[in-house]
Amino acid sequence: MAETMKLALVVSDSLQAQAGAAALRHAHEWVDPKAADVLVVLGGDGFLLHVLHEMLARNQVKPCYGLNLGTVGFLMNGQHDEMPIARRVAEAHRVPIHPLEMRAITQGGAEFSYYAINEVSLLRETRQTAKLEVTVNGQVRMEELAGDGVLVATSIGSTAYNLSANGPILPLGARMLALTPISPFRPRRWKGAIIPESAVIEFRVREAAKRPVAAVADQKEVRDVKHVHISAACDKELTLLFDPGYTLEERIFAEQFQV
């Protein structure tokens, strides 16, 4: 399989990634990304997320094997290995991912739709506290959440912004989402909720003229929103590849024992 698999090299603009690519270009016979079976992505987590979003936008989704030549690299594999790259890719563990779909309506009535692989965040735009109504599966669960905002994270995103906001880490395969408040003022003791991936979550902005709120799906921002609808895009499946013994599931598990 390693001999017949068509691989394409996709490289970040960073100097580190470009230097790493120079050595790899002669280690394998690469093809154009459009003709590839798998994309080998060089860079960091941010660049890999960019590549995944580009594939979603073109509706041309292919498995991605990341090599860490960036800053964080939580979603990437280690770069140092004497094994040929084709063999590493062929023996890699596959992790399927379903992104979130965010549909946002602004105060002016404009509608936007974006995908989020890590999380969807609602954030106050000014010094004024955001006030949000929280609805899950058509039922209002919280009439008013006051604070800096709130986020909905996938299992992969649960170790990113969600973790920094004191949200829970979600194991892969749990098919759950983390609903996490960001610096909540009222109710003070609400720590958030863990809800099924199948749930539909909606936020309505209260006092929007005085307390404007922005909605962000990974890197895509919509300002002055009045209503945000979030659901899992079960018809969109992304695949990340990880070296055996260095799987994303193991890293997410290990994060829970960091001190």
Question: Annotated binding residue at 163?
Answer: yes
Question: Annotated binding residue at 164?
Answer: yes
Question: Annotated binding residue at 148?
Answer: yes
Tokens of 236: 């969109």
pLDDT in tens, 3-61: 588 999 999 999 888 988 888 888 889 999 999 999 999 999 999 999 999 999 998 89
Tokens of 229: 């609808």
Question: Annotated binding residue at 37?
Answer: no
Q: Residue 250 has what pLDDT? A: 72
Q: Residue 1 has what pLDDT? A: 47
Q: Residue 205 has what pLDDT? A: 98
Look up 45 and say whether it is catalytic: yes
Phi, psi of 237 (to 5 degrees): -120, 120
CA angle 17, 164, 177 (to 5 degrees): 95
Enumerate domains of the chain plus CATH numbers. Answer: 7-97+237-255 (3.40.50.10330), 100-232 (2.60.200.30)
Q: What does the CA dihedral 252, 15, 56, 138 come to, rounded to 10 degrees?
A: 50
Instruction: Please give the helix or strand (H or E) that residue 53 lies within, else none.
Output: helix 45-58
Tokens of 44: 């960091």
Question: Annotated binding residue at 65?
Answer: no
Average model confidence (pLDDT) for the chain? 91
Q: Which of 13, 32, 37, 45 is catalytic?
A: 45
Question: Annotated binding residue at 118?
Answer: yes
Q: Residue 246 has what pLDDT? A: 67
Q: Which residue stretches of the chain have pLDDT < 70? A: 1-3, 72, 80-81, 246-248, 251, 256, 258-259
